[in-house]
Every structure is written in C-alpha cells, then in structure tokens.
Amino acid sequence: MSDVLAVAEHRRGELRDVSFELVTAGRALADATDGDLHVAVVGGNTEEFADALNREGVDQLHTVDYGEEFNHDVYVQATEALFGDLDAEFLLLPNSVNGLDYAPAVANKLGLPYVSDAVDLAYDDGLTATREMYGSKVETTIEVAEGPYAVSVRSGEWPAAEGVGDAEVSAFDVDFDEDAIRSDVTGFEEVGAGDVDISEAEFLVSIGRGIEEEENLPLIEALVEATDATLSSSRPIVDNGWLSKNRQVGQSGKQVTPDVYLAIGISGAVQHVAGMKGAETIIAVNTDPDAPIFDIADYGVVGDLFDVVPALIEEFGGDAPDV
C-alpha cells in the first residue's frame, strides 16, 4: 500500500484550479497502488480551503496553519515534514510558477527523483511519466524504477475532481525552523493594465515570433485595421518591447475568450495555449505543419505569413504595406 500526498495551491484567498486536478491525478495513483490519497493545504484560510478540497476520492486532508500566502521556505518545510510523517510513496505538486519555486527544492531535500511538468502518469511496478520536450514537438516517456517519487504536474491535463468527499480533516503541526525562512513576500501587483483589454475582444489577431522583426509589425497592424480586430501577441513580442504587456496572451499574460483567435506565426507553446484555448474558433497560420498550435486549431493555414497576410488584407479591401 502506497500513499499519495498532493499539495494544494492557493493565492490571495482562493484555491487555484490545479489543486483539484492534483486530486484527480493523485486518486489515480493511489488506486493503482491501493493506497490513500492525502491532500495538504498550507497557509491562508486552511479551514475553508480544506472544506472546498474535500472532494470525492480524498482520504485525508491535512492543514498547516502558517502564514497567509505562499512562501517557498514555509512550503518546503511543511511538505518535507508531512511527507516524512505519512511515509508516503508519491509527492504530487503543481508545475505552476509557485511549484517551480519549491518543488525542485523539496524533491532535492527529500532525495527523491524529480519528474517535472508531467502530462500523464501511470503506475505499474514503477512510475511512468509522460512529458514533452523541444517546445512540445516531441513527447517522451520517463520511467522511474524506484520510489518514493516527486512529480510536478502540468495544469489543465487532468480533470478537476468533483463531488463531495468524506475525508478526515486534521491539523498537522510543523515545528518550523524560523531561521530557515529567509525569503519574504512583501506584496503583489497586477500588471498589464492599459489602453485595451484584450480579454474583452471578440476578434483577436495575435502575432508571434514568426513576425521576425519589429519592422514587420505594420503588416499585422494593417490587417487589424482592415478587419477591425484587436491586436494581441505571444510573449516574445512583449519581451522584445514591440508591444506592451497588456497585449500578451498566455499563462503569465491574459486569458482571452474571443469568438475568433487568429494566431499568426505562433508555435503554440503550452504557456501560450493556456491563455487562448477558450477561444470559440481558433485559426492558425504557420509555416510549420507540425506546429503544436494546429492541434488545437479549428482551421489551419500552412503557409508563410508574409504571403497570406497581405492577401488577406486585400480580401477586406485594405492596403498591405511593404515589409
């Protein structure tokens, strides 16, 4: 019998979706090994969080009352102590930004092999994880022969656990070493406000690194004008300073839900897709027929944007600038 410990994530008073996805992933592993699923929540309003996390399939809930928000030093200590106390076989953490900030440290501290960003997990005498490499161009299977195991899971890959569970809730006391808490979260700030709100747009023309040079942006702007669309982009365009942060679609940018999302020269990296997969219709223009964006597109145009976009501008009676 091998137990699973999954650690929930919350921010500014709310549990994040990945917490419920971890419950689903954890339950499957626990079933495969006939074990129990333990879910921990550290900091914040633990009572309320435990209530919400008490979904079908959870055997035990552990609350650690310490602090309001995520602090990696606290999370490392709490997770290490609880995992040791439970003598669990699997540690499941989110591959979120905060997951990136403590999962590798916990794994290292506990001396566990660390598999990050898993998109699928199977157990049969050993753990098999599926992960992506090279910007989602390939999938790999990773086998870990011997546990205990530490795995961070990609959000959005497992369905959120539903239903109401009857888990036992108990407070877990950690003897925190205060001297080892040397990072101090001093606040939060919303960024990316500005003149436009791309999350309100019905039609987004979104541009990625395929545009190559800032000098080529007027071509896209002409399309935006001819179609009365709103301009958005993938991250590199914003990183380069060609567009402001409020135009960025994705995990660290904005979540958008337009009627039509026209992705031009965007590969479809997972962090980008996280922000736009809710679009009603997705159209992708890309030279690479194997670009991951085509996996989620409703319409695909395999072609060079420098040919397709001018032609499209003309369709709507606009003038394509020379670029």
Partner 1 sequence: MKVLVTVKEVAEVEEDFEISNGEIEETYLEYDLNEWDDYAVEEGVQLQEAGDDVEVVAVTIGPERAEETIRMALAKGADRAIRVWDDALGDAGLLDVEAKADILAAVVEEEDPDIVLSGVQAADDAFGGTGVALAEEVGFEWAAVVNALDTDGVLDDGIASVRRELEGGVEELTDVELPAVLTIQTGINEPRYASLRGIRQAQSKEIAPKTLDDLGLDASVADSALELTDMYEPESESDAQYLEGDAGEQAAQLADVLREKGVVDG
**What is the closest distance, in whole angstroms, from the C-beta atom of residue 5 to ligand FAD in the complex?**
24
Q: Which does 299 bind (CB under 5 to 8 A by kind): partner 1, ligand FAD, none?
A: partner 1
Tokens linked to 48 = 């309320």
The only residue of 38, 253, 263, 276 in contact with partner 1, by rule CB under 8 A: 253
The Cα–Cα gap between 219 and 304 comes to 13
Burial class (CB in 10 A: 0-12, 13-18, 19+), 132: middle
Q: Which of 30, 34, 38 is nearest to 60 (CA)?
A: 38
Task: Using the minimum distance from each CB to ligand FAD, give the nearer residue, 168 or 200.
Answer: 200
The Cα–Cα gap between 100 and 152 comes to 9
Segment 38-97, which members bind ligand FAD (CB under 6 A)?
97
**What is the closest distance, in whole angstroms, from the C-beta atom of residue 290 to ligand FAD in the complex?**
9
Please give the radius of gyration of the chain, using alpha carbons only, rounded to the nearest integer. Answer: 22
Contact between 248 and ligand FAD per CB under 6 A: yes
Contact between 298 and partner 1 per CB under 8 A: yes
Q: Which does 316 bind (CB under 5 to 8 A by kind): ligand FAD, partner 1, none?
A: partner 1
Tokens linked to 97 = 């930004």
**What is the closest distance, in whole angstroms, from the C-beta atom of residue 95 to partner 1 in the complex?**
7
Cis preceding-peptide flag for 148 (omega within 30 of 0): yes
Segment 282-321, which members bind ligand FAD (CB under 6 A)?
285-288, 291, 304-306
Piece in contact with ligand FAD (CB under 6 A), picked from 53-61, 121-129, 169-177, 261-269: 261-269
User: Count residues contacting ligand FAD (CB under 6 A)?
Assistant: 29
Q: Which does 140 bind (CB under 5 to 8 A by kind): partner 1, ligand FAD, none?
A: partner 1
> How far is CA 304 from its chain centroid?
30
Q: Which does 115 bind (CB under 5 to 8 A by kind): partner 1, ligand FAD, none?
A: partner 1
**What is the closest distance, in whole angstroms, from the C-beta atom of residue 296 to ligand FAD in the complex?**
13
Contact between 98 and ligand FAD per CB under 6 A: no
DSSP characters for 205-244?
EEE-GGG-SGGGHHHHHHHHHHHT-EEEE-HHHHHTTSS-
Piece in contact with partner 1 (CB under 8 A), picked from 45-53, 93-101, 166-174, 213-221: 93-101
CB 233 within 8 Å of CB 248: yes
Segment 160-219, which members bind ligand FAD (CB under 6 A)?
208-210
User: Count residues contacting partner 1 (CB under 8 A)?
Assistant: 98
The Cα–Cα gap between 139 and 160 comes to 23
| DSSP helix/strand/coil, 149 | strand
Piece in contact with ligand FAD (CB under 6 A), picked from 80-88, 171-179, 192-200, 260-268: 260-268
Task: Using the minimum distance from each CB to ligand FAD, give the nearer residue, 173 or 304.
Answer: 304
The Cα–Cα gap between 48 and 51 comes to 5
Task: Using the minimum distance from each CB to ligand FAD, give the nearer residue, 23 or 266.
Answer: 266
4 strand-pairing partners: 37, 90
For residue 156, the tally of other CB atoms under 10 A from its CB is 16
Q: Which of 107, 118, 96, 87 is nearest to 150 (CA)?
A: 107
Q: Would you tell me the crossing angle of helices 305-315 and 217-227 to the nearest 10 degrees?
A: 30
- Name the site residues for ligand FAD (rule: CB under 6 A): 97, 135, 208-210, 234-236, 248-253, 265-267, 269, 271-272, 275, 285-288, 291, 304-306
